[in-house]
Amino acid sequence: MKRIAFSRKATLALALAIGLSGATAQAAAPMVKTSAPGYYRMMLGDFEVTALSDGTVKLPVDKLLSNTTPAKVGQALSRAGLSAPLETSVNGYLINTGDKLVLVDTGAAGLFGPTLGKLAANLKAAGYQPEQVDEIYITHMHPDHVGGLMAGDKLAFPNATVRADKRDADFWLSQANLDKAPADSKGFFQGAMASLNPYVKAGKFKPFDGNTDLVPGVHAVAAAGHTPGHTIYVVESKGQKLALWGDLMHVAAVQFDHPEITIQFDTDTKSAAKQRQQAYADAAKSGYLVAGSHLSFPGIGHLQRNGTGYAFTQVNYVPLP
């Protein structure tokens, strides 16, 4: 075979050309700038639990948290590598018991700004359709938990029965309460009415009174404070337990160390703090899973005592077959 000889100069030029062509091809790849679909799935005994992201919203938590100071909140955030305004998750949870498909909270849809409203799309990405949802359990009737009940002027979940504590319904669906509410609070009432009243009219809203067994394996636990009828939903299967906290707490970097710290959205701050302290203590003592609507997505994990406060550890990722 005839050998082809290259001069040293030609060899260097060829190597440079190859190197530059490779670099150019890599640099030409555009950034995607999107995340994976916002769902996370795990098994709880025989139940399938899917965390659904409605998106995130930046909140000025240094100004919203109460029974503390902005400086202390800022210091706590800084220790966690965070700052205000804080990118805050809004989560919902889908439980498939094998017999019933249950959704806990529905996200904000268009009631809380343009960065939220992704729960319905993520539910579909997770392999389900809104028409398949049998039951919807509302932790409380703030806009970022009930807005997703509607898709424009239509029921977003046409085959579902919606359930919530009657105390929340009596408070947020009251025209008299709306009329006397301060101007900056009226939107909370209007959002609840726009989201729930179509289900009431359709005969698809069924309130309950305090601690209530719902479908087998799912139990409502009264936790009034954040709102008059705020509810925790406890899910249990094969000896495994998950407590869906709703808005029992909002800012992990602050409120796990200091459960006494409250937020301006609470209707009864003393009761909210008491409920939080009790829930923390029970979860840490018993070791069951907890999930929070505003814990960083997927917001599921365990709580342990950490001195005078608590430490939260996200659930370990386990791929499903």
Query: How does pLDDT run across 165-212, given as a tens digit for each residue?
Result: 999 999 999 999 999 999 999 999 999 999 999 999 999 999 999 999
Where residue 293 falls among pLDDT bands split at 50, 70, 90?
very high
Domain 39-241 fold is Metallo-beta-lactamase; Chain A (3.60.15)
Query: How does pLDDT run across 87-114, given as a tens digit for each residue?
Result: 999 999 999 999 999 999 999 999 999 9
Where residue 37 falls among pLDDT bands split at 50, 70, 90?
confident
* Residue 78 φ/ψ region, left for φ over 0, alpha for ψ in the -120 to 50 degree band, beta for the rest: alpha
The pLDDT of residue 35 is: 86
Where residue 16 falls among pLDDT bands split at 50, 70, 90?
very low
Where residue 26 falls among pLDDT bands split at 50, 70, 90?
low
